[in-house]
Amino acid sequence: MEPIIKLEGINLYYDKGKPTEVWALKDVALEINKGEYCAFFGPSGCGKTTILYVLSGMESERVSSGQVLINGRDIAKFTKRELAVFRQIGVGIVFQQFNLIPSISVLDNVALPMAFLGISLERRRAEAQKLLERLNIAPYANRLPSELSGGQQQRVGIARALANNPPIIICDEPLGNLDSENANKVLEFMKELNTKDGRTVIMVTHEAWSLRDARKIFYMKDGKILKVEEPKESGDVAQAVSKLMYKQLNPNMGENQIMAKSLADLLLRGYSASEVKRFEFFLLQRLSGNIDEDVFREVLDRAYRNGGVGLWKGKAAKISFLVEGVMSQRHTIEQVHEVLEKNPEAPLAEEIQKVRRWLLEEYKGKMDEQQILRLDELIGERVRNIITPQNFEQILNLSKGKFGLGISMRSSNRMAEKLESILGGSEGVAKSMKL
Ligand code: ADP
Ligand code: MG
């Protein structure tokens, strides 16, 4: 089947020939199929909005080379009338700034696009009313847009985009001005439009978590499409996105390599450069799963001249123990990040309980149910970076009467450092090893 939208070799310039010239799209080629939920993801200024204009037929004049094919037909060959029909009925666009007309009612804003089809005002209003109902904003029909909250205005914007029942819905950063609850509602609705109504949804965003429902992601940078990914599930989306961002930050290093490097320096502070290098090598092997825990401990302990790191037995055991802890918990923290990327308000209960059990492994004291609940809450706040490591430690130590946990200063300190050791805070690792 023909893709519903296909771009071939698109180049587009703003201010062509002027000193302010911008080459906004560079050899862009892509295909979007009917019924797909796809997304453009990339930093501000990379050309996302420009691409939306091109594929909705609104920037035809500026395109300097390449083709836009709608259902296999070159848009440059559309008659004026056909182009107008495609823009008015073929696509519905939802904007970040809502773009509602301030002087007319909510109902009339939604009814307006239908005027193009020559439908009577009465029928337009009736249709618009139905759309407002579908978006749960019917009670505000007769208000002016300015009398609605941001979330409600965005729902009016969506209703208007649906007015002529377009098969393609385009959203240009629709969540930018919304709080997380309203942002979630919009995403849910877009998903419904895609799965229940079978519409093609094209989402533009620069927030990774809002990509969760996209099953084709175009990564953009400097006017180019760097990469296309087709994740099967939401989990894959979060993973793919965080991997890509990580690689962009450290283009020449793998994740384990970076981890090995930072841990090696910390754990072997004061050792010679050659010892640290060798340690780093074995650490990378362990982190990558090439050697198991026993082999790792053995090479740490083995004499340097025999190819080992040459640590004394006690130290080798201690370091090995710490590395195993970091490894198993690091996995958990990655999961936490994934969940957070998908939904910043996610409760994370399971991951937090895992971390809490690990934190309490060496804790000798007893904790009642109240303290456990408070501890989980605290871990959550720390993981989300709502409180600092110092706050975390202080609250552990604070008396129960003051809404703390009433844990001794020494245990509070230990627990806080242990938690930091898996949150990527390298200082925590050094301190918890007392190096
Ligand atoms: P994004 O939506 O990803 O933030 P845009 O498509 O809006 O990116 O912009 C891509 C590039 O084109 C940017 O460098 C931007 O400054 C430039 N640009 C966008 N619109 C215009 C315009 N009307 N005139 C001149 N330059 C523009
Ligand atoms: Mg934009």
| Domain end marker among 194, 221, 238 | 238
| pLDDT value for 8 | 97
58 in contact with ligand 1, CB cutoff 6 A: no
Identify which of 10, 14, 205 to mutate to test ligand 1's pocket (most ligand atoms within 8 A of the CB): 14
Structure tokens of 108? 């009339």
Structure tokens of 431? 């301190």
50 in contact with ligand 1, CB cutoff 6 A: yes
One domain for residues 100 and 223: yes
pLDDT higher than threshold 70 for residue 343: no
**Quick one: which ligand is closest to 54's CA?**
1
Among 104-113, 326-335, 346-355, the minimum mean pLDDT is found in 326-335
| pLDDT value for 198 | 93
| pLDDT value for 246 | 45
Q: Is 288 within 8 Å of 256 (Cβ atoms)? A: yes
Domain range for 340: 243-432
One domain for residues 205 and 95: yes
Distance 100 CA to ligand 2 centre (A): 18
Q: What is the DSSP-derived secondary structure letter of residue 228?
A: E
Q: Which residue has the tokens 């099967």?
A: 232
Distance 50 CA to ligand 1 centre (A): 6
pLDDT higher than threshold 60 for residue 369: yes
Average pLDDT over residues 403-409: 87
One domain for residues 330 and 231: no
Highest mean pLDDT among 22-26, 250-254, 379-383: 22-26
Residues 6+ apart with CB under 8 A from 421: 322, 325, 326, 428, 429, 432
| Domain end marker among 204, 238, 272 | 238
**Quick one: which ligand is closest to 173's CA?**
2
**Average pLDDT along the chain:** 85
Position with higher pLDDT, 218 vs 341: 218
One domain for residues 151 and 258: no
One domain for residues 409 and 340: yes
**How many domains is the chain built from?**
2
Q: Is 5 within 8 Å of 70 (Cβ atoms)? A: yes
96 in contact with ligand 1, CB cutoff 6 A: no
One domain for residues 92 and 174: yes
The domain that contains 85 carries what CATH number?
3.40.50.300
**pTM, entire model:** 0.61
22 in contact with ligand 1, CB cutoff 6 A: yes
One domain for residues 324 and 363: yes
Bridge-based pairing state of the strands 91-95 and 5-14: unpaired
One domain for residues 19 and 41: yes
| pLDDT value for 435 | 34
One domain for residues 182 and 296: no
pLDDT higher than threshold 90 for residue 90: yes
Identify which of 50, 62, 63, 96 to mutate to test ligand 1's pocket (most ligand atoms within 8 A of the CB): 50
Average pLDDT over residues 81-87: 90
Distance 24 CA to ligand 1 centre (A): 6
